[in-house]
Amino acid sequence: MSSLGNSTNIFWHECPVGKPDRQKLLQQKGCVVWITGLSGSGKSTLACSIGRELHSRGKLSYVLDGDNLRHGLNKDLGFKGEDRAENIRRVGEVAKLFADAGLICIASLISPYRKDRDACRSLLPDASFIEVFMNMPLEVCEKRDAKGLYKLAREGKIKGFTGIDDPYEPPLNCEIEIQQHHGICPAPNVMAGQVLSYLEEKGFLHA
């Protein structure tokens, strides 16, 4: 007797309109731009800047912001290790669907653990997963502290905060690394330009 919770009796259903058809319609190639880095490193700012620039070029994208997703899709998850892993797993699966739809999906999450990011990468053809590392020093991120979270973490009012009492594992082979130049953070449009240049070079902005 089968159980409703058992997925072994579920089969993939192919539709006649596939990813190549959607990409031809949109005149672009679906992919995932995964932005990772410490809180306050500029992930959301970069994600929105990329989205704005793509829109101005007539390219369809969608931003999956970590904080925004915790208001809906992931509102049942906390910040323990297993919850963080599930948070990233869900976002990875959603991002994969957006890419399959032909969109340029921009995922902006701290995603501190390398194995979780690598698991998301494994969901797509390798070239379609573009990891962007916001390599900003902890002291810079902590000085910004727009949400006041670092202060709370230093005071012990938040436990398991990435960069303070929980580790951040930087990428080993990211496609794009963004960092300070002579102690100055690049402007949002400059950072977005770096990502768009990569997308253009790799052919994602054309069908």
| Cα distances (Å, whole numbers) of residue 15 to 12, 21, 60, 82, 107 | 10, 11, 22, 34, 26
Flag whether pLDDT at 165 surpasses 80: yes
pTM of the model: 0.92
Average confidence (pLDDT) over 79-94:
95
Give the per-residue pLDDT at 8: 77
Average confidence (pLDDT) over 91-115:
97
Give the per-residue pLDDT at 1: 47
- Distance between CA atoms of residues 57 and 35, nearest Å: 21
Give the per-residue pLDDT at 117: 97
Give the per-residue pLDDT at 49: 98
Q: Which of 5-19, 81-95, 97-111, 176-190 has the lowest mean pLDDT?
A: 5-19
Percent of the chain with pLDDT over 90: 86
Residue range 187-205, pLDDT digits in tens: 999 999 999 999 999 999 9
Flag whether pLDDT at 3 surpasses 60: no
Nearest CA to 60 among 17, 20, 94, 106? 106
Q: What's the whole-number average pLDDT of the chain?
A: 94
Flag whether pLDDT at 139 surpasses 80: yes
Give the per-residue pLDDT at 13: 84
DSSP 139-182: HHHHHH-TTSHHHHHHTTSSSS-BTTTB-----SS-SEEEE-BT
Average confidence (pLDDT) over 55-79:
96
Catalytically active residues are: 111
Question: 1: which 2 tokens?
Answer: 């007797």
**Rg of the chain (C-alpha set):** 18
Give the per-residue pLDDT at 2: 47
Using left for φ > 0, alpha for ψ between -120 and 50, and beta otherwise, residue 154 falls in: alpha
Flag whether pLDDT at 95 surpasses 50: yes
Using pLDDT thresholds of 50, 70 and 90, give the confidence band for residue 6. Answer: low
Please say whether the beta carbons of 36 and 109 come within 8 A: yes
DSSP 133: E
Give the per-residue pLDDT at 81: 86
- Distance between CA atoms of residues 197 and 60, nearest Å: 16
